[in-house]
A and B are shown apart, each in its own frame.
Chain A
Amino acid sequence: MNLSKISKNVFLVIIFGLIVTACATKKSVKTTTESATTTKAAETQKADPIEKLDALMQGDVYIGSDTVGELASGVPDRVFFATNETILTTASRETLRKQAAWLRQNSDVTVVVEGHADERGTREYNLALGERRANAAKDYLMTYGVSSDRIKVLSYGKERPVDSGSNPLSWSKNRRSVTVKAN
């Protein structure tokens, strides 16, 4: 009884140690690619919620899977953007290549690419920003062989958030373009 309890404690300690080192490694890798301010933040922050945030956002681009649906089996329906940006990240380009591949195989399908912005901008500017984001996704799909007449673009600006929170993580989920089947 006593022995098993001790061994359990030892086991927990070992696991804890592993997590700490794992995190430290991850951070040291990250800091090489990110700005000095991020490094400082990572060094000073140790609490669990921050670890979670790190896993869900890269810079301020959402990289988690919450809210992400499927255009088809194994093909994510959306990509995420940094604040005020329309640049496609490496992960976004991978998602869009999957979408393009599927669309090439299913040539009867037409889609609407819906562009969205977070709530931290004026309504009219965000309409324009959503349109820009949707077109960034559309252009990439076209580059990978989907003809433009199969892709409609629709900007919702900040009118249709998926996450109603008022925090950086919620906002990162809302800065998105979603490819939706239109037929």
Chain B
Amino acid sequence: MKKNLFLIFLFYVILKPSISFSLVEIDITRGNLDPMPISVSPFFSDKITDENIKKDLNIENLGLEISRVIENNLEKTGLFDAIEKEAFLQKPDIAHLKPRFEDWALIKSQVLITGKVTSKIINDKDYINIEFKLWDVLGAKMVDGFSLTTTPRSWRRVGHKISDKVYERLTGESGYFDTRIIYVAEEGPKTQRIKKLALMDQDGFNTKYITLGSELVLTPRFNPANDKEITYMSYFRNMPRVYIVNLQTGEQKVVGDFRGMTFAPRFSPDGKKLIMSLAKDGNSEIWVRNLETNIQEKLTDHPSIDTSPSYSPDGKFITFNSDRSGYQQIYVMRSDGSKVKRISFGKGIYGTPVWSPRGDLIAFTKLHKGKFFIGVMRTDGTGERLLTENFYQEAPSWSPNGRIIIFYRETKTDDKGKGFSAKLWSIDLTGYNERLVSTETDASDPSWSSLLGN
């Protein structure tokens, strides 16, 4: 019954480098550094493979396309600079077998990626095997590589998995390319926005719309323990409630049985609980619902607005925002609701705290002197750093490795109320490398998945 919307990787073989050694590593904790020159050779394939792939995917040169996926991923980190393929002196097949390192050094490439695509038939079904190797040009050695077999239409994911491997090997950090982003796709005039849930690969490809736009939908969030499950808020039948959706089956269910509006949902790190706000009789409190036992419990008890809860990665704490001091500020409490402590004390108002998957930082939105900032602070509120300032932006969400924050930004309209747009943006934790994240439509409320499972 599980028709796989998500593929299964059949075979995964690690190609061991002959001798282990240390390649020049990139320090990504610094901001503005010189990108490392890198060459991604087109992956080569034989005639039969080309014919099979043409038949299955209608793609002429899949090997070239895969190399472009990798290049695009690596360049967008701001840490790598992909050398133009016209400059390459060596053919892809020979380079993959044994690169002539002098040729690659000549074009100033420090790192070389090569690969091979081969079609395979297993149980009368078409598959592709993709092999890749990572070479250190200066050290004249292969340093990493793998080969995996999968369904042809999953080829982009292989490109992402290769990108993750290269990123991990060169930066020492875990990757974030084989991931998806769930967000709200927006269309129409500002006063009557049509909003749909949308899912896409991290690089903006393979967009799928999960809802039709017939009702208002907001704030989708991935289950960090299950990339096939999300939670979000819907105005279905004019009853604003929190739902959980299984992306594989399309099945969705309302969470809990609350009298009043439920909103601002987020999963616990193990995916077994859901925290959210319940607004009733003019007061919003934070609740937790155990998804296994269906027991729900109120965590805050204050006449102020308590909302936007987010768990620490160990599940022991919850950060949230409250206006109990008179203005929106960020608080941390134990996950049972005890020991509530305010942590934001800077100038301005603070909202949408989101705990980093590494546990050491909380990302937030700040409004100060009419400007909106995305920033980070330590979990005790010290070390506040503002990463980006704009007319309006909010809703930070962390990449699974905790290096990048994705958020949405809205434009100021002109005197006639025209010119409104909402787009996704990303920025490095360093405050550098701010980028527009391409989406088919206007977009808001992004949530980054964990690294995808099989």
Contact = CB atoms under 8 A, between A and B. Distances in A.
A and B: bona fide binding partners = yes
Residue among B189, B261, B321 with max Cβ neighbours from chain A (10 Å): B261
A166 interface: yes
A119 B263 CA distance: 18
Contacts of B240: 127, 154-155
Contact of A155 (B279, B394, B445): B279
Given A159-B216, A165-B413, A119 B392 contact: yes
A132 interface: yes
A160 B264 CA distance: 18
B282 interface: yes
Interface residues of B, number: 43
Contacts of A125: 305, 307-308, 321, 323, 328, 351
B344 to A, nearest CB: 13
B413 A128 contact: no
A84 B394 CA distance: 17
B282 A123 contact: no
A161 interface: yes
Nearest to B364: A122
A127 B282 CA distance: 11
B191 interface: yes
A23 B307 CA distance: 45
Contact of B261 (A155, A159, A170): A155
A101 interface: no
B367 A124 contact: no
B40 interface: no
Contact of A129 (B192, B218, B305, B415): B305
Contact of B394 (A122, A135, A162): A122
B341 interface: no
B412 interface: yes
Interface of B: 189-193, 216, 218-219, 238, 240, 261, 263-264, 277, 279, 281-284, 305, 307-308, 321, 323, 327-328, 351-352, 365, 367, 391-392, 394-395, 410, 412-413, 415, 417-418, 420, 444-445
22 contacts: A120-B392, A122-B321, A124-B307, A124-B308, A124-B351, A125-B307, A125-B308, A127-B218, A127-B261, A127-B277, A128-B277, A128-B305, A128-B307, A132-B284, A132-B305, A155-B240, A160-B191, A163-B417, A164-B190, A164-B191, A164-B417, A164-B420
Interface of A: 84, 86, 112, 119-125, 127-129, 131-132, 135-136, 139, 154-156, 159-166, 170
